Structure 1
């Protein structure tokens, strides 16, 4: 397998500083770094010494077993759950459920967790289990409900499922109509190019749709199909069995909510002192917990009398009532981005957490909160990222002299330059010359008009602008007509850009796994699973 490392910015200076270890103050916010082998052993020792701060492994394994038997009943997965029962630590990653797994970054997260667990097992001499945390409690439907694939004519197509009527409840609790699921699959089948793998893909997705009536379940089934053989254990944060285990931690978060808020504010102040802006809002009085009220997931805020309410004040709960809900109805509670790391660490024996750049930025605000709860932040493992380069795309890159760097940073300029090289008529120069000649010819007329009446000066200037605009418009249309002579070549170049950097951004943030499965079957995924792993993250081109 051929791979090539490339340098891509993380998009956030804070994350860049952490991954590259270029700012000691940033690294101190996390307390450890995966590049240090000793930090893996230190975290392992902490987990072994503080089992009392987590859910008992037997109870956790029972909940995981019940869920994975429904979603992901693969021998390797069931064996890993039994390893967790026996005390094995985990490397965890996660994402909100998306249609057919959503963008490729979800696949990259799973691949990174599997590789990191394998790496950790070698480093520590302990069996380490990869876990995928499906954030089914999230309610951002517009982020979860769609998938992008390339159609036969190299056009990007969005396939989506509309949100059913009802409140803004979690994705896991939003029930899908079977006809809507079938319609999305029919649309996918219509836009995907025909291939030897298309029937297998559509049959699998249809089979999973028949077994589930929510996006999270569909997501889990597809993820299990892709990674079950790798032993990837699945967990839905909105699963009733998991919620029951979380009750004591919800109680602790409510009882110590003021201390948690103060901890988040200390971390925010430390971050600002280092010169970085926080990526999440540490709002005054925010409880950082959601409650499900009449099928709507709503964020809670604290009142001076100790009660809790939502922003619209349509929900108000006394402290005692909220504590009762935590103890007796934990399925009515849900975490936000700041409390989820704490809950995850309470539920699972987390050796390391695989996070994307945005998530790493969020986690900078949680170090003090971990300490406030008597816990320690796990190792933060930057997610690996990859760009898949198929043979046809590679061939077109060679044909037109396009590098990956060209596509990422200067594609429009390279495309325009390529066209200009084929402009034997000198269109741009001749129109520029014509415009200059007209201005020179028109200048005496403008001066004559102004000498007759001062008010005609502005009129003549406006008239000149209109004529020059018309010349520019004709130039534009002439260039377009010239470009049409090279339509086939330009489509090939645009196809390269669409394959590698769709919509002006990384492949992993747009394209869905169905795009590549349809073209290559399982082979593309097998290559990803064999791809290089770097504890500090990185980006690789994977040539298919």
Structure 2
């Protein structure tokens, strides 16, 4: 396995500047994990403000219950024991749960989290544990209910998990029937090619869904199976036991909601004034909190001194909302702008691992941290990869294709290549034939027009029909040429499908199960040995 840097332009301008020109956007963030000085300052701040966070012993206890159920590895038990001790810090990464772990970048985010915690512990000389924050409170089922794999014939295939009709509940609260799991697992089994590793891979997938009530639970079991041995602690943001411990901070989010709204707007204005686009909505009257009502997750807004949803299903005064919180904390949920604040209350977060989209919207809560007495944690770009299998690499070399060629699209280069295979120079000869025919026929048509005006129009129509017939034969010759080179064109197609499926980076589309099935569980261990690089630079893994 060889790993080489291969930058990919893209993402928002703010995210690109964070990665490539941090000094120009430093004022929009709390600090950069890539600076050792920033790590030491953040650690010192966390030590001095331990009293402002939730009781770490109670948090560790709630996490222990959850991980014993979904991630029961001895390394996780040891990490939780460390978390209970004052002075232990955390590096977090997070994502919505996804079918069969979702896209590859989820795996890369977990790897980044583990490696960053290890590096920080070595530098600071104190325990730093990795934690993966599963955003189970999110309700966008359509975003997480599917995944893509390369099937046995090298084509991209979508697998989708259906659910029963019901309210827009949090993903962790959506119940998935056993028959639903059986269907998608059978689909995956049929799509993956036979390999020596397949029985083992399929068994641990089946085990993850056995006696599993939700997508989040199955996701946790899979991530735990993959990364528990590295001490990765798992947290579901919809965990009722955790929600009880978050109650004091939800109260602060309600009591200081107007100040928080002003802080979000202030940060948003600073971002826009810097020439950047906002990556999350900052609208007047948005409470940035959700309320769970009859199973539905409703976004709360402020109007006439009350908290309500857009359809008016619920309505509370601030006092009434606080009273409900006291008795039913499980009815409350964060949005993308309050979750960073809640995470900082729940955990001693040294740094958080973010993708490019998250890098951009995390600038919005900067001032909000100050309102609640917090401080934005250090930000760390997740590691990014494209896997190029050995056979594909040979084919790329055969056709003199670079990764940049594939990223930009191969249509033009494919046409140039197929033209180069035309030893009879049919393309040139057909064009010359059409030109010669027109040169000979057009003077005749003009002369016919002097005999009778109607013959000029008839002659031109006749010429176009003959040219169409020549073009038709040219197309048939082109088809025959492509048929003759069908095997090679399939290789071109496989290169594009593997590296840039649906026109997107591989890591944003494909699921890791194809690669585990092909290379075995040791493939993940190999990924863990790749030297950490927190620069945000995309890298190619040549298998």
TM-score > 0.5, shorter chain as reference: yes
Q: Matched residues in 1 for 2:489 and 2:19: separation?
A: 38
Q: How does 1:37-52 map to 2 (within 5 A)?
A: 37-52=36-51
CA shift, 1:419, in A, is 1.2
Aligned equivalent of 1:63:
62
Confirm or deny that 1:404 pairs with 2:423.
Answer: no
- Does the 8 Å CA contact 1:34/1:536 hold for their aligned counterparts? no
Q: Residues 342-397 of structure 1, C-alpha deviation per residue, up to 9 Å, x if partnerless? A: 11111111000000000011101111111121111000000101112222222322
Superposed displacement of residue 463, structure 1: 8.7
SS at 1:148 equivalent: strand
Distance 2:38 2:207 in 1: 44
1:529 and 1:493 map into 2 onto residues whose CA distance is 31
Tell me if the contact between 2:34 and 2:380 (Cα under 8 Å) persists in the aligned partners.
no
* Separation in 1, partners of 2:241, 2:92: 18
SS in structure 2 opposite 1:211? coil
Aligned partners of 1:387 and 1:541 also within 8 Å? yes
Which position in structure 2 is the counterpart of 1:513?
512
Unmatched tracts of structure 2, length 5 or more: none
**Separation in 2 of the partners of 1:500 and 1:180?**
30
Could you tell me which residue of structure 2 aligns to residue 229 of structure 1? 229
Partner residue in 2 for 1:255: 255
The residue that corresponds to 1:416 in the other structure is 415
Report the equivalent of 2:103.
103
For the 8 Å contact 1:308–1:318, the answer to whether it is kept is: yes
How many residue pairs end up in the alignment?
542
State how far apart, in whole Å, the 2-side matches of 1:462 and 1:18 are. 62
The two structures, once aligned, show a CA RMSD in angstroms of 2.4
Where in structure 2 are the equivalents of 1:346-385 lying within 5 Å? Answer: 346-385=345-384
For residues 253-275 of structure 1, give each alpha carbon's deviation from its aligned partner in whole angstroms, at most 9, with x where no partner exists.
11111111111111111011111
The Cα of 1:152 is off from its aligned counterpart by 1.3
1:31 is matched with which residue? 30
Q: CA deviation at 1:62?
A: 0.5
Aligned: 1:82 with 2:108: no
d(CA) in 1 for partners of 2:170, 2:472: 51
For 2:445 and 2:322, the matched residues in 1 are separated by: 82
Q: Does 1:245 align with 2:250?
A: no
Whole-angstrom distance in 2 between the partners of 1:388 and 1:140:
29
Aligned equivalent of 2:142: 142
1:99-138 correspondence runs (5 A) = 99-138=99-138
Task: Return 5+ residue gaps in structure 1 as ranges.
Answer: none
Q: Deviations over 1:132-180 (max 9, x none)?
A: 0000111111110112111111111111112321111111111011111
Equivalent position of 1:14 in the other structure: 14
Check conservation: 2:251, 2:325, Cα contact below 8 A.
yes
Cα distance in 2 for partners of 1:283, 1:384 equals 32
What do the CA deviations read for 1:397-450 (whole angstroms, capped 9, x no partner)?
233322222222242222222211101232332343344445556656887899
Instruction: Please give the alpha-carbon distance, in whole angstroms, between the structure 1 residues aligned to 2:21 and 2:312.
Output: 45
Give the conservation status (yes or no) of the 8 Å contact 1:528–1:542: no
SS across alignment from 2:278? coil
Higher mean displacement: 210-219 or 65-74 = 210-219
